[in-house]
Structure 1
Amino acid sequence: MNVAEYITSGILESYALGTVSDQERREVECLSSIYPDIRREIDELTEALEKYALAQSVEPPASVKEKLLQQLEFPASEPSIVRPMYPSEPLSGPTFRTTWLVAASVGLLLLVFSFYLFSQLRSNQEALASLRTANETLKAESHQLSDWQKQQDQMMALLRQPGTRTLVLQGNDKAPKGEVLVFWNANSRQVVVNASALPQLGPDQQYQLWSLVDGKPIDAGVFDVAQSGRVVQQLNRPIARSDAFAITVEKRGGNPTPTMATLLAMQPVNS
């Protein structure tokens, strides 16, 4: 079972609000006893709902109570009328009018209370949706930070290795502001690129790094850049020897030979 998809399906919010069917309720309670993440999400939603209800609670206006009491008062000048339990004629006059007023008042009170509950339900649903959105945003930012930290760790691990070289590849007129640092260790054959301000490519394109050995290009791996134009990525091609490094734009997945028309930068190793 995909617990993450089940949590984001919205059924837990409905469970917390009490709007699920009996079968759905039993399902949620069963899964929450099996998966701690679901149990924790329910607890967080319930706590958030309670806090929001307490913060947004509103007492009915005092004027409503006064109006109802005024409508329920019986005229003092009218004598009491005793009627049989089963009258032969329909009720009429003051008694019928009083009964109608009581029924109308109760109906009005129920209508006001129902509207109040509906408003609170809508407010709670909106609050839960906002909490869900904020939670998803925080998770996405956390994943981005984690990925960036892993990339930095890869680069630092390579820099600590004896024999690691750093080459600066400046972009040509196709990427005048682009700059790529290539960290290469011939002993471990590892290559890490740290790109800065490279143009973002389309979904069917990637940047490809080449190692030139005796004038022949060798595929050193492909990499993407984020919207910010930055990336730190360890490539998966072992490079034991290189006279120069170059970067081109190729189709997604790379090409066996470079497309010279898309050459963005090149730097000799021993310059």
Structure 2
Amino acid sequence: MNPLTIDDARALLPAFALDALDGAEQEAMLDALQRFPELHAELDTFVKTVHTLGTTETVAPAPDLRERFLHRLANDDVDAVPTTPAPVASASPARVRQQAPVHSKWRRVVPFIALTALAATVVVLVRTQASLRSELDAARTAYTKGQSTIAERDQALAEKEAVLRTLLGGGDALLVVNMGVPNATGPGMQFFWNVKDGRGVLHAFRLPQTAQGRAYQLWLIRDGQPVPSRVFTPDGDGSTTLFDIELPQSTTGVTAVAVTEEPAGGSKLPTTQPFLVGTVSTRSQ
């Protein structure tokens, strides 16, 4: 027989206390008690309970109970209940013990075993409930994470659709302005202006990260004056894409598009020199 685990040994403690185990189980329990000394206190409780139940005096039945029971059987009155009380007071303790049924001790122990089994079942149910609750929490966490991922993908898809609407919906009225520096490793931008719908898309790359409290701002240079537009900051890799930029539905008077570094909330007028400027073609005027 394989060595018992502590849970297996704990389940067999009632039977061990009752000396109801076979030889192999008895040896396995003795081995488990040596390996798990914490079980000794529980075993002592069972042994004391069994001893108490086994030594409790029983009440002797009435002397004429057998005759009355046989009489009712003979008269087919098996459902009748004896009404004559048992003369307990007249029986001496010695006679009570002598007349006690042979298996009275076991009849008293059986309810105890049943209660022990019930307690073990309750323990198993509690542990099962805890395990199921843990699995449920894990499932909820996974579900929430999945919902968040789906929301992020839906957002990304909506952004791509907005970009495509701006780029493809402009047709001949789509104006493209390239902004950059001669150095191929420097920052650069592409500005797409759907004049027909008055919407724009900006794609920037290799932008330096701004200091805390600072951001970049897009400007339209119209009739020689800067007109403020969107404020933005780049992602960790220095790139960003802005979509659904509100723009005029006419390029009249607009000669350039520029980007400056401003306070995070944006400015009404530029506070720094533009570091990216793109010329709007006169053919689009």
For residue 256 of structure 1, report the CA deviation from its aligned partner. 0.6
Letter in 1 for 2:202: V
Find the counterpart in structure 2 of residue 213 from structure 1: 222
CA contact 1:214–1:243 (8 Å) conserved in 2: yes
Find the counterpart in structure 2 of residue 34 from structure 1: none
1:192 corresponds to which of 201, 205, 225: 201
Q: Distance in 2 between matches of 1:106 and 1:172?
A: 89
For residue 71 of structure 1, report the CA deviation from its aligned partner. 3.9
1:240 corresponds to which of 250, 254, 259: 250
Find the counterpart in structure 1 of residue 162 from structure 2: 154
Q: Distance in 2 between matches of 1:267 and 1:86?
A: 117
Q: Distance in 1 between matches of 2:246 and 2:202?
A: 11
Further displaced range: 190-199 or 164-173:
164-173
- Post-superposition CA distance 1:93-135 (Å, at most 9, x none): 9978646643543343223212211121112112121221222
Q: What RMSD, in angstroms, separates the aligned Cα atoms of the two structures?
A: 4.5
1:128 corresponds to which of 97, 119, 136: 136
For residue 164 of structure 1, report the CA deviation from its aligned partner. 0.9
Q: Distance in 2 between matches of 1:86 and 1:177?
A: 111
Q: Is 1:163 paired with 2:173?
A: yes
CA contact 1:192–1:233 (8 Å) conserved in 2: yes
Q: Is 1:117 paired with 2:125?
A: yes
Find the counterpart in structure 2 of residue 106 from structure 1: 114
Q: Distance in 2 between matches of 1:126 and 1:270?
A: 64
Instruction: Indicate the SS of the match to 2:260.
Output: strand
Change (3 A) 1:102 1:146: same
Letter in 2 for 1:257: L
For residue 66 of structure 1, report the CA deviation from its aligned partner. 11
CA contact 2:259–2:276 (8 Å) conserved in 1: yes
2:148 corresponds to which of 108, 121, 140: 140
2:267 corresponds to which of 245, 252, 255: 255
Instruction: Indicate the SS of the match to 2:246.
Output: coil
Q: Which runs of 5+ in 1 are unaligned?
A: 1-59, 74-80
Q: Distance in 1 between matches of 2:104 and 2:139?
A: 52
For residue 83 of structure 1, report the CA deviation from its aligned partner. 2.3
Change (3 A) 1:98 1:87: farther
Find the counterpart in structure 2 of residue 83 from structure 1: 60
Q: Distance in 2 between matches of 1:141 and 1:126?
A: 22
CA contact 1:152–1:232 (8 Å) conserved in 2: no
Q: Distance in 1 between matches of 2:215 and 2:232?
A: 6
Q: Distance in 1 between matches of 2:119 and 2:155?
A: 54
Change (3 A) 1:98 1:125: same
- Structure-to-structure mapping, 1:66-81, within 5 angstroms: 68=15, 71=18
Change (3 A) 1:140 1:205: farther
Find the counterpart in structure 1 of residue 70 from structure 2: none
Find the counterpart in structure 1 of residue 33 from structure 2: none
Find the counterpart in structure 2 of residue 41 from structure 1: none
CA contact 2:196–2:249 (8 Å) conserved in 1: no
Instruction: Indicate the SS of the match to 1:248.
Output: strand
Letter in 1 for 2:250: A
For residue 198 of structure 1, report the CA deviation from its aligned partner. 4.4
For residue 207 of structure 1, report the CA deviation from its aligned partner. 3.4
Q: Which runs of 5+ in 2 are unaligned?
A: 1-6, 21-57, 62-85
CA contact 1:192–1:234 (8 Å) conserved in 2: yes
Change (3 A) 1:106 1:189: same
Instruction: Indicate the SS of the match to 1:168.
Output: strand
Length-normalised TM-score, structure 2: 0.53
